[in-house]
Amino acid sequence: MSTELIPSLVSKLRTTFAEGTTRPLSWRKQQLKQLKTMLETEQAAFLEALKLDLHKCEQEAWTSEIGFVISDIDHSLRHLASWTKPRKVATPMFVQPGKSYLQPEPLGTVLIIGAWNYPVQLVLAPFVAAIAAGNCAVIKPSELSSHTAALLAKLIPRYLDSNAIEVVVGAVAETTALLAQRFDHILYTGGETVGKIVMRAAAEYLTPVTLELGGKCPCIVDRNTNLEVTAARIVWSKWMNAGQTCVAPDYVLVEEDFVADFVASLKSKITEFYGTDVKQSPDYGRIVNERHFARLSSYLLDQNVVLGGQCDPDTKYIEPTVVLAPDLQSPVMQEEIFGPILLIVPLRSITEAPAFINARPKPLALYVYSHDSAVAQHMVSHTSAGNVGINDGMMFMANPNLPFGGVGNSGMGAYHGQTGFDTFSHLKTVLKRHFIFDVALRYPPFSRSKLQWLKRLM
Ligand code: NAD
């Protein structure tokens, strides 16, 4: 799309919003149903695009992308009427008689900028929330997952209201042109550097932002755990989408004399899930592009690779790889991996884990595996993270009642379920009073006795 068209495109959406088209519940529900129809009817095309972009297998494409968004739509449709209702809050005695409530209202025209690793989920899940809340929306999918981006741009206008919803495909120039426009909210998913660009651009219009960023997600494995299930869940959550998941475990903290047992369990689960030659597995993904392949394979230079390590530039394949005791100053330990390499950092005692984690930027997700609830709770209470999984990897994403978002460097704001609806709404406060009982205490002329009464009442 030519960047010159972007101002008029945004202006069209602003006009639609001003006309009130997107406010009625009937419009919101119809758009959500149409989106569901699109995902169901065009499922084969989405599966193909995801295969071309990331070699995503059907089960992962369904559970983490297409089915994920459909279940999000169903949840929103089920709860939309109650989310949009005024939310009553208590009214203190000195404001009686009166009623206090929060009235959700749509923000206006919002911008959703997505990342490439879950190219359907990361634009459509926020989009579901934006539409449920009654906004107009511009979706900007990542150019790195180009097949999915092109498909969204082709299908969305066919199924949804083009006066209120637009898809802009493109890269830096298009995103820059979009960011030069006034929006009423921006939800950005991606890396920290561009997150800062988005926030700077938003500041120009005082536009609120939700930043869904990343970082290194730690995983603590206590020796007192169910090793079989722990290994299965770590392998599943680490090597899904070839490790290109913002909430995948990045490094695992384990006690030194437990490392051998832990590595053996990982090895056996990798073989059980993907076979002895992972490259032949239809269930294992590929790296999105050459740049990321080069970045990831360079991480392995001079490292103690204890599992995997095979890299094939022609097919952008990197084997599930485990690195033991990396130099803490090396790039693999300094940067977010965002690929199929798992680090093991041995500790003398698991009690050292919180200090290790707290010495680094706040993660998007933190995992603890332990039979001992007190140990798990200790780790949760003594660290900070956007989201925590105790005894499982990233399953919190599957609960729409849990907000999803980062803290500190891993992001700000959250969405999913009602939190998403609220993110794209303004919760307008309303106090409704009656004309009766117009007590004169607050009105001039003031007196000592009026003040004394007020001190008692407030
Ligand atoms: P990316 O390269 O797809 O970029 C994200 C978006 O920013 C794209 O739409 C792109 O067009 C736009 N963009 C890129 N450069 C820009 C620029 N200079 N100006 C304006 N816009 C620009 O994705 P990425 O940054 O490689 O994403 C990976 C990061 O995202 C990782 O850190 C990962 O952890 C994080 N992530 C977070 C979540 C989450 O939900 N918190 C989900 C997925 C990924």
Mutate to test the pocket of ligand 1, among 1, 3, 175 (most ligand atoms within 8 A of CB): 175
Please give the model's pTM, rounded to 2 decimal places: 0.96
Give 189's strand partners: 212
Q: What is the DSSP string of 320-344?
A: -EEEES--TTSHHHHS---SSEEEE
Q: Is the pLDDT of residue 141 over 90?
A: yes
Task: List Cα–Cα distances, 43 to 32, 152, 171, 229, 397, in angstroms.
Answer: 16, 12, 25, 32, 22
Ligand 1 centroid from CA 194, angstroms: 7
pLDDT category at 2 given cuts 50, 70, 90 is: confident
Structure tokens at 275: 């076979």
* Ligand 1 nearest atom to the CA of residue 214, by list position: 34
- Point out the ligand 1 atom lying closest to the alpha carbon of residue 142: 9
CA distance 10 to 422: 23
Q: Is the minimum distance from the CB of 138 to ligand 1 under 6 angstroms? A: no
Average pLDDT over residues 32-42: 98
Q: Tell which residue, 32, 6, 31, 233, has the closest CA to residue 140.
A: 6
User: Across the strands, what pairs with 367?
Assistant: 219, 389
Is 412 in a helix, a strand, or coil?
strand
Instruction: Give the model's pLDDT for residue 153.
Output: 98
Mutate to test the pocket of ligand 1, among 246, 296, 416, 419 (most ligand atoms within 8 A of CB): 246
At residue 1 the predicted structure's pLDDT band, cuts being 50, 70 and 90, is: confident
| DSSP one-letter code for 240 | G
Identify whether 212 is a catalytic site residue: yes
Percent of the chain having pLDDT more than 70? Answer: 100
Burial of 46 (0-12, 13-18, 19+ CB in 10 A): buried
Distance 237 CA to ligand 1 centre (A): 20
- Evaluate the CA torsion angle 291, 293, 295, 301 in order and state its sign: negative
CATH code for the domain defined by 3-213+409-430 = 3.40.605.10
What atom in ligand 1 is closest to the CA of residue 143?
11
Domain boundaries, the chain: 3-213+409-430, 218-405
Q: What is the pLDDT of residues 57-68, one digit of tens each?
A: 999 999 999 999
Dihedral over Cα of 377, 379, 383, 384: its sign = negative
Distance 110 CA to ligand 1 centre (A): 18
Amino acid 457: pLDDT: 86
Question: Is residue 389 a contact partner of residue 365, using CB atoms and an 8 Å limit?
Answer: yes
Q: Does the Cβ of 214 fall within 6 Å of ligand 1?
A: yes
H-helix or E-strand spanning residue 136 = strand 136-140
Provide the pLDDT for residue 272.
98
- Any atom of ligand 1 within 6 Å of the Cβ of 142: yes
Average pLDDT over residues 206-221: 98
Average pLDDT of the chain, as a whole number: 97
Residue 323 amino acid letter: V
Please report how the helices 6-18 and 172-179 are oriented relative to each other, as an axis angle in degrees rounded to 10: 40
Q: How far is the CA of 272 from the centre of ligand 1 (A)?
A: 33
Q: Looking at ligand 1, which residue's alpha carbon is closest to its atom 43?
A: 246
**Terminal C-alpha separation, the chain:** 59
The three-state secondary structure class of 100 is strand
- Residue in 57, 217, 219, 246 annotated catalytic: 246
Ligand 1 center to residue 100 CA distance, Å?
A: 41
Domain 218-405, CATH 3.40.309.10 — does that match? yes
Whole-number Å distance, alpha carbon 412 to ligand 1 midpoint, is 15
Ligand 1 test: best mutation among 124, 142, 148, most atoms within 8 Å of CB? 142
Nearest of 309, 305, 306 to residue 318 by alpha carbon: 309
What tens digit of pLDDT does each residue of 370-415 get? 999 999 999 999 999 999 999 999 999 999 999 999 999 999 999 9
Catalytic residue among 42, 65, 174, 212: 212
CA distance 265 to 259: 10
- Output the 3-class SS for 347-363: ECCHHHHHHHHHCCCCC
- 59 — phi, psi (to 5°)? -65, -45
3-state secondary structure of 368: strand
Assign 94 a pLDDT band (cuts: 50, 70, 90): confident
Q: Could you give the CA distance from residue 19 to residue 73 in angstroms, rounded to a whole number?
A: 25
